[in-house]
Amino acid sequence: MTQGTSELTVGEMLLKYGISRRSFIKFCTATASAMALPPWMGPAMAEQLRNSPRPSVVYLSFQECTGCAESLTRSFAPTIENLIFNTISLDYNDTLMAAAGEAAESARTKAMQDNFGKYVLVVDGSVPTGAGGAYCAAGGRSAVDILREAAKGAAAIVCVGTCASFGGIPFADPNPTTAWPVSGIISDKPIINVSGCPPMPEVITGTLLQFISTGQVPDLDEHRRPKVFFGNTIHDRCYRRPFYDQGKFAKSFDDEGARNGWCLYELGCKGPTTYNACATIKWNGGTSFPIQSGHGCIGCSEPGFWDKGSFYSALSTAAWGKAGEVAPRQVGKLAAGAAAVGVALGVASAGVSRLRQRPSEPHGNEPKGG
Amino acid sequence: MDLLGFARGPALKVALAIFCVGVVWRFVGFALLRLRRDLNKPRVSLLGSWAGGLVTVGSRSWPHPEFIGRTGAGEALGYSYHIGLFIVVLLFEPHIVFLGSLFGFTWPGLPSSLITLISVLTLTLFLAVLFRRVTNPVLRMLSNFDDYFSWFITALVLVTGLAATAHIGAPYEKLLAWHILSVDGLLVWFPFGKLMHAFYIFPSRAVNGALLARKGAVS
């Protein structure tokens, strides 16, 4: 952690660590490039960061699996080391910090008091409210209390991961802990959602850097996600898209189509309805992403992704079964039942029609229909 | 539940049920209607009468040579957009996946880009038939709400489908949801409007032909 140095500007910190101005501009340009910002934003970001005090960041973890923090530590642009040591003052993160117990909690309290109204609050995990918040507590206090207290002095809240952004897996039916996303609890602060299960590391660090360097909440989509990272669907940027356009689809995970890299739409890929940067930035330093590894996108950065039916049924299929799938047998039952009702109605209406018809009319043989 | 989940879930289920009830109801009601007694002496046997019906199914599916100059263009237009619809509905891979999820079997499809092209052509033909309907005085007089609404709901399915494929105007999941909702609407309207001609067209021609053949007027 970097307590005691948060009053230094980023530039002063860089000098302290012997990093040249040129190297820093290169770093900022690379970061701006990763965020698809205009070319002039790199130097502007560098200038802004050099003269800004390193902002305090308080990172709270609630009902989560630590996958988001694991993801964050694998960031390549900027690296987590760069982010923590050069750009921000990460004053509290119970996973990464060495301190524990009262020392850790007092670090959080001090950071929040010293930087009231200015610190960035990062939240990871959903917030359970059932049983008086007892499902998730730290230091004898419930997650919901800690969140409300920490949110009061925050300049903005960055929700890292689908759980904090949309409730995620804890929020999924039947939601046994009455979990909520942060936006379900806090309504008077700017909230930026960086969704994903886990979210992309470069998206987490990029969003933090963009907010820190500009002081502005980036352009957000309808789910409060930065448009720069969540502006396109996976499908839009997928390298398999040409196969979709050609109508070439893998029918199973081991058929010839799958081996030839054909589109995974029919195998349940949720790329067309999922907004994220996986297909462009990719994972592990740009090595690959799930579709490139042969599995369809599961739509983990979308609200309610866990309750949207099977990961393996195509988006265009009927979905009213319990598991989100419909078996032809169910359709047959529905059709048979409906046909029985139809027959009954047909017989009844023909009966009514015959009763109204005068049977003594012998002439004519007009056709029944047009 | 989001809009897409609603469209391909409960809305689709209800629409399919209404479609099945409606189609069977109209078929059974139609089949059980009492024909007025024909006291004329039949000119052909019962078999000959129904053979005449089959002849009429064929002959009425093609422009009469004498009128081909006046009706040929209209019939070509009609055939073209119907063929376009069949191709788009039955040979687009996501549609095959959808139908496969209902019926349990699939078949080969066409390239998506070709389907998009055919969809645009079909939509153009749709606009052409609407133009013809509103500009031709006789057709206009014959047309009622049923004709225009049946045109509208079918065109809506095409437009929303094209928008979803091209990602125009809204996020894909919303466009797909609206597309499936428009299909749900079409399924509900289908048995109660003129779209039912899809089921009636050949039986009604056959019945007409059989009755005419009985009078010795096979055509």
Query: Which pLDDT band, with edges at 50, 70 and 90, does A145 fall under?
Result: very high
B27 vs A: CB within 8 A: yes
- Give the pLDDT mean for A349-357: 83
Question: What are B144-147's contacts with CB under 8 Å, separation 24+?
Answer: B146/B193, B146/B194, B147/B194
- Residue A194 has a pLDDT of 96
Q: Which residue of A has its CA nearest to B94?
A: A316
CA atoms within 13 A on the CB side of A307: 17
Distances (CA, A) of A193 to A87, A290, B53: 21, 22, 67
| pLDDT exceeds 60 at position B7 | yes
Inter-chain Cβ pairs, chain A and chain B, closer than 8 A: 184
Residue B83 CA to residue B171 CA, distance in Å, equals: 30
Query: Which pLDDT band, with edges at 50, 70 and 90, does A369 fall under?
Result: very low
Which CATH class for the A234-307 domain?
A: few secondary structures
Instruction: Give chain B positions within 8 Å (CB) of A301.
Output: none
Q: Could you identify the residue written with the tokens 């376009």? A: B84
- Residue B71 has a pLDDT of 82
- Give the pLDDT mean for B105-111: 89
Residue among B32, B112, B203 whose CB faces A346 most closely: B32
Residue B6 CA to residue A319 CA, distance in Å, equals: 9
Q: What is the DSSP letter of B169?
A: S
| pLDDT exceeds 90 at position B118 | yes
Burial environment of residue B51 by CB neighbours within 10 A (0 to 12, 13 to 18, 19 or more): middle
Instruction: Give chain B positions within 8 Å (CB) of A272.
Output: 172-173, 176
Distances (CA, A) of A56 to A49, A88, A107, A155, A353: 13, 6, 11, 10, 81
| pLDDT exceeds 50 at position B81 | yes
% of residues, chain B, pLDDT over 90: 52
Please answer whether residues A19 and A66 qualify as being in contact, where contact means their C-beta atoms are separated by less than 8 angstroms.
no
- The domain ranges of chain A are 54-228, 234-307
Please answer whether residues B119 and B161 qualify as being in contact, where contact means their C-beta atoms are separated by less than 8 angstroms.
yes
Query: Which pLDDT band, with edges at 50, 70 and 90, does A3 fall under?
Result: very low
Scanning A177-236 for CB atoms below 8 A from B yields: 233, 235-236
Interchain pair B94, A342: CB under 8 A: no
Question: What sign does the CA torsion over A132, A138, A143, A146 have?
Answer: positive
- Give the pLDDT mean for A134-139: 90
Residue among B29, B38, B114 whose CB faces A346 most closely: B29
Interchain pair A318, B95: CB under 8 A: no
Which of B41, B46, B87, B102 best probes binding to A when mutated, by most A CB atoms within 10 angstroms? B102
- Residue A154 has a pLDDT of 94
Interchain pair A363, B102: CB under 8 A: no
Interchain pair A345, B21: CB under 8 A: yes
Domains and CATH numbers, chain B: 3-36+45-214 (1.20.950)
Residue among A318, A335, A342 whose CB faces B101 most closely: A318
Regarding the domain with residue range A54-228, which homologous superfamily does it belong to in the CATH classification?
NADH:ubiquinone oxidoreductase-like, 20kDa subunit (3.40.50.700)
- Residue A274 has a pLDDT of 94
| pLDDT exceeds 70 at position A321 | no
- Residue A17 has a pLDDT of 66
Residue among A244, A317, A364 whose CB faces B98 most closely: A317
Residue among B4, B27, B204 whose CB faces A367 most closely: B204
B114 vs A: CB within 8 A: yes
Burial environment of residue A318 by CB neighbours within 10 A (0 to 12, 13 to 18, 19 or more): buried
Whole-number average pLDDT of chain A: 84
For the whole prediction, is pTM greater than 0.80? no
| pLDDT exceeds 60 at position B6 | yes
Q: Which two tokens stand for residue B18?
A: 């209404």
Which tens digits make up the pLDDT trace of B160-190? Answer: 999 988 878 888 888 999 999 999 999 999 9
Residue A122 CA to residue A137 CA, distance in Å, equals: 17
